[in-house]
Structure 1
Amino acid sequence: MSDIEDKYANAPEADVKSDTAILGLSNANHLEKLYDGWFLDYASYVILDRAVPYFEDGLKPVQRRILHTLSEMNNGHLIKVANVVGATMRYHPHGDSSIYTALVGLGQKDLLIDTQGNWGNPLTGDGAAAGRYIEGRLSQFAQEILFNPETTEWIPNYDGTRKEPVTLPAKFPLLLAQGVDGIAVGLSTYILPHNFNELCEASVAYLKGKKFTLYPDFFTGGTIDVSHYDDGARGGKIKVRAKIEVQDAKTLVISEIPYGTTTGSLIESIVAANDKGKIKIKRVDDDTAQNVEIVIHLLPGSEPQKMIEALYAFTDCEKSLSPCTCVIIDKKPCFTTTSELLKLSVDHTKHLLKWELENDLKHSQEKWHATSLEKIFIEKEVYEVMKKAKDHDEMIQLIDEGLKPFTKKLRREVTTEDIEKLVALPMSKIARFNRKKADELLKSLDDHIAEIHANLENIIDYTVAHFKNIQKKYGAGRERKTQIAEFGKVDAVHVAMANQKFYVNRKEGFIGTDLKKEEYLFDVSEYDDIIVFKNDGSYKIVKVSAKDFVGKDIVLVEKFNKDDERRIYNVIYQDGKDGPALIKRFNVGGITRNKDYPMGKGKPGTKILYISSNANGEAGTVKVVLKPRPRVKLNFEVDFSEVEIKGRNAVGNIVTKYPVRSIKKVSDGESTLGAKIFYFDAISGIVSTQKKGDRIGAFEDEEKLISIRNNGMAKLHEMKDPILVGTDILYLGKYDPKRVFTVLYFEGENFNYMVKRFTLETCPTTTEFNILSDHPDTKMIEFFSTEDARVTMDYQSGHKVEQEELDLTELAEIKTYKALGSKFTAKKVKRFTRIKGAAHEEESSVHSDSESPDLFG
């Protein structure tokens, strides 16, 4: 016990209270309340004044102060960033480093600031030059939509020497255009950038009462899956992928990267995945200059399409982003959605435009009043009464009396301030007065006032015109860069490298990758599942690991796929210690990992007499040898094809009730399942038998699948399960070497439109090949796999655009896929349009029969 505890152990309560006061312990509650207050103040400050933007202008305070300073310094010329940073410090008390970083970030968004010099490269992550070397100024767009002193609320700056805006009067959904992220106390915000033109169009749609949908758009390009975007609400997410293309069989090129990465960080993730053995590449080069170009050199024998999927699975070539739309509304942080944020911004824009119109109306009316009063003052020679006045007050009175007969048509009363302005008119202006010009000015003011009234009465149409004008003036060159597509999650099992050797100690019951002195089985990846059958009839599923005890006396170990419905296990087992021999055929399907499942009823003494794993449901024949016994046939054959396939929990049928000495395989047999029915899942790019996606037909083992991608690359596939063909598929069907294909394409090398008709009789059987030319500018226009191959061609003829119908089957002879084809026109083609005839309609549907299983065409 401490000295203090000992002192108060048996002390009277009064003494304790007295001594606690002496020790200062009575201040504990006061300190706690003080701490709570300070922390709340700090949290409120960070949320409202540092991390979370206001919905009105979409800016954090440091950004707002930078733009306000640029507006103050704006003279049309570029300004040194160092000077901007220094001037901004009059408003922002947090140091020059934070100002410089925020200023560079604004400049890199290429919207509000015109830049000159090295402002860094957000694609590569390279930083900007020092502030003394780079320059910037407000863009014309920023000047038009962000500043108006009359519609700005002002507050004193941090030291009270100047005034700064609470928010800038932004007449555009700037927050959604630029995006923002910030971490405050207890909350964060992460709003993704959206497309400039789409924001304008959505604003117009909202004002007209129409529905609209907004999705993110990134300057880095790439592809996004917005299936779970949930309108940018907290809890939603999107997946964004790099753009990876096959340059040739040994080279991949990344030309667009996911938002939130740089070329440097992306390459680091690729190298890390290679070092961990998740992918295997030769090397990766960064050839990025103005545009992204990351070149990945593959090892000999690599499958380019499978490597692309592996890059998505194991590197930052695919990233998941979780938006959280939190903004300051009415000086409180609020969680909202992208659509609601746009509506708030558009309503705020409408309010600002109305405010500007009302201010303009006020100024125009004042100018009309002043001009009318000057006209009366000069035309009616009221100024002559000034000669009779003895003092200033009498002069004001005389002028007021002189004006009264002529002021009935004025729109408000004449004030002393109005008369003071008349008195201040120089004589030269009175002498040069031009009645015609004054009437013209009054007429133009009347027209302008009428126009303002009309705009105020039709404020929605006026706001619509504002957004259309903004898009017309500044929307050029701001087309969507990020493609929207749906792509499923890449299953790591399908693309992972089998880079580890797997071993088993059957007697002791251990399996794993570290048992290098034991029996080698096969190569595995870390994502594989393993099924283990033991002599006692039990079986279980486990993940690949370094060393795992699964139970003694292992009889069968192999890789396991819960979706593989065609893998059938043929088993004969003894049901209990003295029980009969039973036979069963079953598929395991989905079961819980690390749980033992019994064979049959799991009686004590059960043991497996024979087991085989059959990838395609093969049903072989075995020879059963019994132990010697009087008047009993000692051996006979059992044909598994006569046994029905049932569920894994089925007990099975009796083979014999006598003790079995041995069972030996006689023949492998054939599949009892018939031809495999394959399906294509367009989202994941996988062909399998798992009934995911569209059916493409029934295939025998010796038949092959042909896939042709949008870029003209084609490949023959063995009918293994699953097959990774990719998501950019143009044609998918059963390989027929005599089938004739027709292609209309643009040949990049000779700059001509070409038609070719060909078969694939001589195509490679194991590697990818190109049905077009290898020139990088070559592009597919139309592809036909039927006899009907017709298009219409629009072409320029003088000042007119004329149209011609073409039957492509008449324009080229049938040759091999390597032939370039025939040049068929020298006309200035505007466009080609496919004619969808009956044959095309049949071809483009999904077939369920094995004779015509084409999926696309």
Structure 2
Amino acid sequence: MTELTYGADGEESVALRAFTEKAYLDYSMYVILDRALPHVGDGLKPVQRRIIYAMSELGLQNNAKFKKSARTVGDVIGKFHPHGDSAAYEAMVLMAQPFSYRYPLVDGQGNWGSPDNPKSFAAMRYTEARLAKYAETLLAEAGQGTVEWLPNFDGTLSEPKVLPAQVPNVLLNGTTGIAVGMATDIPPHNLKEVVEATVHLLENPKATVSELNNFLPGPDMPTDAEIVTPRADLLKIYETGRGALKMRAIWTKEEGDIVVTALPFQSSGEKIMEQVANQMQAKKLPMVADLRDESDHENPTRLVIVPRSNRIDAEQLMNHLFATTDLERSYRVNMNVIGNDGRPQVKPLNVLLSEWLSFRQDTVRKRLEHRLDKVEERLLKLAALMLVYLNVDEVIEIIRTEDKPKPVLMERFDLIEMQADYILDTRLRQLARLEEMKIKEEQEALEKEKDDLLKILGSDRRLKTLVKKELQKVAKEFGDDRRSPIVERGEAQAFNESDLLSSDPVTVVLSEKGWIRAAKGHDIDPSALSYKSGDGFKFAARGKSNQNVLLVDSTGRSYALPAHTLPSARGQGEPVTGRLNPPSGATFEAMITGENNQKLIVASDAGYGFIVKLEDLFTKNSKGKALLNLPENSKILPLLSVPESEEAVIVAISNEGRMVAFPIDELPELARGKGNKIINIAAARAKERQEFVVAVAVLVSKQKLVVYAGKRKTVLKGSDLEHYLGERGRRGNKLPRGFQKVDRIEVQ
């Protein structure tokens, strides 16, 4: 509580911290309760409620003549909403736009904006408006004792606290609002589905959100685009009151062209065209040749994307556009509303509908009680009229002769004051028309109505039945089919840089001194290219221009360079160290290119290795990434491609002429590390370089292995290899005499 102190001159003073804290809290509560959040009862924010009520007070029903919007706005801000006219008019425009509201509350005439630019509406002095027919569901019962009235801002008029909505408008049109410390984002829904879910909850008060989800599967936007959020995620949104959903444009193929026919809610075709055009100008969409907007009155949305050729994958292209433009949009859901208790809260679907049903049942009860009072009052008046009819001469005589006829009439005929007043207010000409039969007929009808009202008010079951019938009647009158189909789609993926590049064959060449270049085609002889003085050919890798060139250095680190960025082979290239930063003294010992899922064998001459996917060698870091842990004094062996055959055999030969062969599936697949033992070489001998692996090869059926030792060579095939088959990591068997010092091997 703020503590006041008084100065010598009687002035009040309060601590600045206490004052500012109270002032900010007061302001935030005002924004939350009286500006930004909707009420669960009618789903309206105060400005919207005041606009609807002011229009009804002006007689602007659905069948009335249109009236200038400025007149409505003037009444709203002059009588109920003391804020800016532009803010009030914008709120009114939003309720009139069929592309913004699922069920518009205002029927506008003139320029009320377009889906491309919702704020392109004309000024309020030009447009005209009246209430839409749907607004009847909010106003029809306002004069039937259902509304709690509050004084307006200056206390001269009354305004409704909440309108007596006949359906859960809070879900039907949704709303967005930003308060202090909280916000609301409720998407629009379909009237028929909401009513079905509400009726089910009315009949089964303990129904779960999952059960209600069968009737209300998801939001229904004022557009024909698809909702692509999985149903499980939609259910989670309704269970928690929070989440996000996605909408995606609908497209078809017409004579090779891609035609977009429906856009997500609040997406602008003009902006989407601009987004696609920007990508085309930036050469990020080489597969698109042309772009046209053919939208017209008959086809409100018709965006045409022309692929460069029939070979372009339309699905893949649209997936890219969904990921990079407003052809797919995400919407936050935060079902934060002011409840019946006057407090803001994020509510799950079952709680929100339960609160609305409580509000609706209370409203219907008030309406019935109000009607019952009117019926009873009319019955008393009819009873007084019957007395007049039966004793007309005596009544006239009392009125003519008595100075104060009212008390005399009350005493003579046992009347209450209201009945006596009614008799005295009855005109003489009416007395001549009083007919006993007409009075009795009206009495009977009213007595029956009174009896029905009492039965309904005395039974919760009858009251619920009445609420149910009225809900179904509104759904029948205003309901329509779902506009936004709910379809589960895969996640949209944008093209990466390699997808946007042409897939041309290239040969990447690395020289002994570390100069790199790329030649078009696979039919060139790398060794015949010109090299700088003292330099020569070292490696060549054949691949495609949209692939990465992967290099491995003498320390076991891997590096990547996009092939399309390498200099042409017309020149002598550029030093690879200009782009990469290997450790001091390291040299590049392997180079390869290919598909990401291609498998390789990475091994050291210490006898260790493993299988790795080519994509595991990739890194954007110019310093590379650790791939193979090399034991001391060991070197990396050339990279080997792994064939798809399941019968492939790995062969390893040491410099001392020992050879072992084993099935390829015995070597594990790793992303990096030292690997497993391929052939057994004693660690001490490997460290001293007394023994090391000369080569590792992969053989499939019918392939031959050629072993070279100086000028001698031997060919091993079929049964010859069986002698060397064993388990991975064994010492292996000796090669024939004369091959104790192996130089190299070849697979034929």
Residue 212 of structure 2 aligns with an amino acid whose one-letter code is F
Secondary structure of the 1:236 match is strand
Identity %: 25
Match for residue 254 of structure 1 among 260, 264, 272: 260
What residue is the counterpart of 1:815 in the other structure? none
Query: Could you give the per-residue CA deviations for residues 331-365 of structure 1, whole angstroms, max 9, x where no partner exists?
Result: 32211123322222222122111111111111011
Matched, 1:184 2:179: yes
- Whether the 8 Å contact between 1:570 and 1:619 is mirrored in structure 2 is no
In structure 1, stretches of 5+ residues that fail to align are: 1-20, 22-26, 405-413, 576-580, 672-857
Q: Which has the larger radius of gyration?
A: 2
Secondary structure of the 2:33 match is helix
Give the alignment of 1:195-594 within 5 angstroms. Answer: 195-209=190-204, 211-213=211-213, 214=216, 215-224=218-227, 225-226=229-230, 227-229=232-234, 230-232=236-238, 233=240, 235-249=242-256, 251-280=257-286, 281-290=288-297, 291-300=300-309, 301-329=311-339, 330-381=341-392, 383-384=394-395, 386-387=397-398, 390-393=401-404, 395-404=405-414, 414-456=415-457, 457=459, 458-475=462-479, 478-492=480-494, 497-499=499-501, 533-539=552-558, 549=581, 552-554=586-588, 555-556=590-591, 558=593, 561=596, 564=597, 567-575=598-606, 581-582=607-608, 584-587=610-613
Distance in 2, matches of 1:455 and 1:510, equals 94
- Whether the 8 Å contact between 2:398 and 2:409 is mirrored in structure 1 is no
Matched, 1:613 2:652: no
* Residue 400 to residue 270, structure 1, CA distance change in 2 (3 Å): same
Distance in 1, matches of 2:564 and 2:22, equals 53
Query: Could you give the per-residue CA deviations for residues 425-467 of structure 1, whole angstroms, max 9, x where no partner exists?
Result: 2222112211111111111112222232333331100000011
Match for residue 89 of structure 2 among 100, 106, 110: 100
Secondary structure of the 2:224 match is coil
Alpha-carbon shift at residue 151 of structure 1 (Å)? 1.8
* Residue 264 to residue 598, structure 1, CA distance change in 2 (3 Å): closer
* Residue 363 to residue 505, structure 1, CA distance change in 2 (3 Å): farther
Match for residue 676 of structure 2 among 616, 641, 651: 651
Distance in 1, matches of 2:258 and 2:271, equals 18
Residue 296 of structure 2 aligns with an amino acid whose one-letter code is A
More helix by share: 2
- Whether the 8 Å contact between 2:272 and 2:327 is mirrored in structure 1 is yes
Distance in 2, matches of 1:371 and 1:69, equals 36
More strand by share: 1
Over the aligned positions, Cα root-mean-square deviation in angstroms equals: 4.1
Give the alignment of 1:714-753 within 5 angstroms. Answer: none
Further displaced range: 191-200 or 39-48: 39-48
Distance in 1, matches of 2:399 and 2:266, equals 80
Alpha-carbon shift at residue 194 of structure 1 (Å)? 0.7
What residue is the counterpart of 1:118 in the other structure? 111
What residue is the counterpart of 1:36 in the other structure? 21
* Residue 276 to residue 391, structure 1, CA distance change in 2 (3 Å): same
What residue is the counterpart of 1:700 in the other structure? none
Secondary structure of the 2:637 match is strand
- Whether the 8 Å contact between 2:648 and 2:664 is mirrored in structure 1 is no
Query: Could you give the per-residue CA deviations for residues 476-495 of structure 1, whole angstroms, max 9, x where no partner exists?
Result: xx211111122232344689
Distance in 2, matches of 1:246 and 1:353, equals 52
What residue is the counterpart of 1:78 in the other structure? 66
Alpha-carbon shift at residue 416 of structure 1 (Å)? 1.7
Further displaced range: 341-350 or 363-372: 341-350
Alpha-carbon shift at residue 509 of structure 1 (Å)? 9.4
Query: Could you give the per-residue CA deviations for residues 180-225 of structure 1, whole angstroms, max 9, x where no partner exists?
Result: 1111111111111111211121121111115312311111221111
* Residue 479 to residue 571, structure 1, CA distance change in 2 (3 Å): same
* Residue 446 to residue 235, structure 1, CA distance change in 2 (3 Å): closer
What residue is the counterpart of 1:142 in the other structure? 135
Alpha-carbon shift at residue 156 of structure 1 (Å)? 2.3
Distance in 1, matches of 2:563 and 2:455, equals 75
Give the number of aligned pairs: 612
Further displaced range: 149-158 or 81-90: 149-158
Alpha-carbon shift at residue 116 of structure 1 (Å)? 2.3
Distance in 2, matches of 1:598 and 1:400, equals 109
Question: TM-score of the superposition, structure 1-length normalised?
Answer: 0.64
Distance in 2, matches of 1:607 and 1:589, equals 22
- Whether the 8 Å contact between 1:510 and 1:549 is mirrored in structure 2 is no
* Residue 442 to residue 583, structure 1, CA distance change in 2 (3 Å): closer
Secondary structure of the 1:285 match is strand
- Whether the 8 Å contact between 2:651 and 2:699 is mirrored in structure 1 is no
Distance in 2, matches of 1:381 and 1:620, equals 120
Distance in 1, matches of 2:517 and 2:600, equals 23
In structure 2, stretches of 5+ residues that fail to align are: 1-6, 519-531, 533-538, 566-578, 704-748
- Whether the 8 Å contact between 1:509 and 1:549 is mirrored in structure 2 is no
What residue is the counterpart of 1:18 in the other structure? none
Residue 94 of structure 1 aligns with an amino acid whose one-letter code is H
Question: TM-score of the superposition, structure 2-length normalised?
Answer: 0.72
